[in-house]
Amino acid sequence: MVTSLNAAPPRVVVVTGVSRFLGARVASRLAADPRIERVIGLDPHAPPPALATLLADVELIRADARAASGAIADLGAEAVVHLAVTSAPDPYAGGRAAMKEQNVIGTMQLLAAAQASGPLRKLVVRSSTAAYGASFKDPAVFTEDTEPRAVPRGSFARDILDIEGYVRGFRRRRPLASATVLRFAPLISASANTTLTRYFAQPIVPTVLGRDARLQFVHVDDALEVLHRSVVEDHPGTYNVAGSGVLMLSQAVRRAGRISVPLPEGTLSSVAALARNVGVGQIGLDQIDLFVHGRVVDTSRLVKEFGFTPRSTAAAFEDFIVAHRNGSSLTADRLTAAENAILEGIRRVRAAVALERVGKP
């Protein structure tokens, strides 16, 4: 595309969700880019101290999306990066109601403000591969054009469908602004803290009996790179962002050296629901849908348009394993040692038996 190369980077960028892991990193990276003059972080919550150092060069506005309409117009923002999408309800911050408020209502208001703002010419929205839903009739590999065949059960996946619906509305009403939707596979890295990383960090991992899901991950650094490029370059459209290759859930658990406990789907859902109510919940219906159906996407459109290949799923997961060694019990070293010990033992027994046979006659 010729236009995509000629488009100049936006001078003023508004980033939502900067109090969170991904938002703070994207904002600080954009602020470090000399082509961008101002980076404004928009978040109703103050960033935690760990992220505050990252955000030194970012102007912070503590406001929710309702107040955004004024801010985006007043600042003359040319690009909006919408990252305030929560993937799991936080029981300490309002639970599911607050999650939906932020994801769906927040997106609606932000996009309404963006649509009304004259100078705005770029919108980047974080979405998820959960947008493909979960159905037994699904094709094995989703391309960006695959329509979801069934409304997913998980709250996050339903929010994602709503968010993408608002982006479609935005595209219709502002056809000249470029809207980029990035459908991320689950993020993983040495330090990322998501529902899935907490899940794989447990020493004993519950899985669904009789199902082995195909999983894909994307490394946080690659996700940052793609987000950065989609702001400074011009890539309108919807893109899958995932590491190439596939790990089966059982394989991932084994590579992490964890022990999997397969439970029937019904038992797992009820146990997970019970655990959620107690407040120690890790697994929601989103995760159970993922573990039953698996989710693999085709990233050839991303690679072609961005000229960037994220590291493979296996490599991204390896980075996570290295950082989470302490919870693993069945490590590759121990397995090798066990293998050698058993082999030695068998050889010794066989040698003894052979010796006895020779001695007998």
Partner 1 sequence: MSQDEFRDALPGQVDFELPVAAPEKPLNGRRPGRRRAVPALNGHAESRGETRAGAAERKTKPEITPSADSSAELPTEPPTGPPAEPPTEPVAEPAPADPVDVWDQRVARGLAFLRRRLAGAYQVDEFGFDRELTDTVFYPMLRVLYQDWFRTEVFGIENVPDTGGGLMVGNHSGTFALDAMMLSVALRDRHPSDRHLRLLGADLVFRVPGLSELARKAGATVACNPDAERLMGNGELVGVFPEGFKGVGKLYADRYKLQRFGRGGFVSAALRTGTPIIPVAIVGAEEIYPMLADLKPLARLLGLPYFPVTPTFPWLGPLGLVPLPSKWMIQFCPPIPTAHLTEHADDPMVVYNLADQVRETIQTNLHTLLEKRPDPFGL
Residue numbers at the binding site for partner 1 (CB under 8 A): 136-141, 143, 146, 208-212, 214, 245-248, 250-255, 264-265, 294, 296, 330, 332, 335-336, 338-339, 342-343, 346-347, 349-351, 353-354, 357, 361
Contacts of 271 (CB under 8 A, 6+ apart): 206, 263
Residue 5 neighbours by CB distance under 10 Å = 8
Indicate the residue among 125 and 246 with the shorter CB distance to partner 1: 246
Which of 73, 306, 123 is CA-nearest to residue 231? 123
Q: CA–CA separation, 34 vs 31, rounded Å?
A: 8
- Calculate ∠ Cα 206-89-141, nearest 5°: 60
CB of 327 to partner 1, least distance (A): 16
First to last CA, the chain: 86
State the alpha helices, DSSP H only, in 33-138: 49-52, 68-75, 95-100, 106-116
In degrees and rounded to multiples of 5, residue 46 shows phi and psi of: -75, 140
Indicate the residue among 69 and 244 with the shorter CB distance to partner 1: 244
Indicate the residue among 231 and 302 with the shorter CB distance to partner 1: 302
CB of 136 to partner 1, least distance (A): 5
Which of 345, 315, 150 is CA-nearest to residue 242? 315
CB of 215 to partner 1, least distance (A): 10
The structure tokens listed for 215 are 């999983």
Would you say 178 and 120 are in contact if contact means Cβ atoms under 8 Å apart? no
The structure tokens listed for 5 are 């190369």
CB of 202 to partner 1, least distance (A): 16
Indicate the residue among 116 and 353 with the shorter CB distance to partner 1: 353
CB of 36 to partner 1, least distance (A): 37
Would you say 174 and 136 are in contact if contact means Cβ atoms under 8 Å apart? no
The structure tokens listed for 65 are 């999306």
Would you say 35 and 232 are in contact if contact means Cβ atoms under 8 Å apart? yes
Positive or negative CA dihedral for 191, 194, 200, 202?
A: positive
Indicate the residue among 2 and 358 with the shorter CB distance to partner 1: 358
Indicate the residue among 37 and 339 with the shorter CB distance to partner 1: 339
User: What is the DSSP pairing of strand 259-263 with strand 204-208?
Assistant: parallel
Would you say 36 and 11 are in contact if contact means Cβ atoms under 8 Å apart? yes
Indicate the residue among 156 and 291 with the shorter CB distance to partner 1: 291
CB of 334 to partner 1, least distance (A): 9
Alpha-carbon torsion angle 165, 136, 294, 159, nearest 10? 20
Positive or negative CA dihedral for 253, 257, 258, 260?
A: positive
Indicate the residue among 7 and 263 with the shorter CB distance to partner 1: 263
Indicate the residue among 274 and 349 with the shorter CB distance to partner 1: 349
CB of 135 to partner 1, least distance (A): 9
CB of 114 to partner 1, least distance (A): 34
CB of 306 to partner 1, least distance (A): 20
